Structure 1
Amino acid sequence: MASPQDTAAVRPPDDGTVSLPDPPDDASSTIAEDDVAPEVRHSLFDDIEALIDDARTYVSAELTYQKTRAGFVTDRVKKGIAFGAVAVFCGVLATIGLTVGLIIALTPLVTAWGATAIVVLAWLLFAFLLARRAARNFSEASAAMNESDET
């Protein structure tokens, strides 16, 4: 804790000036001229060398990031394809089940051959409509590509 005379020396007098205590006179508090760090000067060559080193570090980090990103995307695409293939397989099984179920359900109404013919014709009509839609989309894409070649 500070003594009363230490705080009195720091308190400004009535005229508004501040008087600070004198520094100690012992030799350990003085700084030798050898201890002062010289002014650091950078040359243009040093700055360009630092810039090249920073650019190399940046390129290396960017390449590492892009490799990691590509690996992540590749992994996700592989998993997406696998899950998609399983989903298509399950869809095909469900469609087979629906087909068999429809044939069984229609058999009492229109014999087994009639039920089979109705279900097969319905599936062929559905496939024909989808094929027409696909052909229209392909022809529109082809026309758009031919249009861009002419301009």
Structure 2
Amino acid sequence: AKAHDRGYVQDLWLDGVERRYIEEIGSMNVFFVIDGRLVTPKLNGSILPGITRRTVLELAAALGYATEERALTIDEICQLTRDGHVSEVFGSGTAAVISPVGVLRYQDDTLVFNQNQIGPVSQKMYDIITGVQYGRLTDDYGWIETL
């Protein structure tokens, strides 16, 4: 409620113990494009092992993107962004599929990603996943089950 009262659309969730490790964004899994690699927090028991998260990781590998699942701190992401290493941030989930993050505010930092526009990696993920879902693209990944 505090974030909403301040005009924010979503919350970036940090771990409940140290309050420094990134877990999710809203009710979605979160991904960062860092130096061309797709990086997401490692599943640790409190992060939802989302189907769309798994889909994004499988698709990224199929498209030749390097992927990494590891602990990420908010301070690390802030520093990497200030230094120009983070080009995109997006959430993934069943309803939104891919939801780009344009601006992240944390303490005194206001971080802008890809000029507050959907980035090329986010767009490609969205286009392919929804293309397969709606039958515009063939399912080369084994995602669709015929009933």
The TM-score, its normalising length taken from structure 2, stands at: 0.22
The TM-score, its normalising length taken from structure 1, stands at: 0.22
Larger radius of gyration: 1
> Larger RCO: Structure 1 or Structure 2 (Cα < 8 Å, ≥ 6 residues apart)?
2
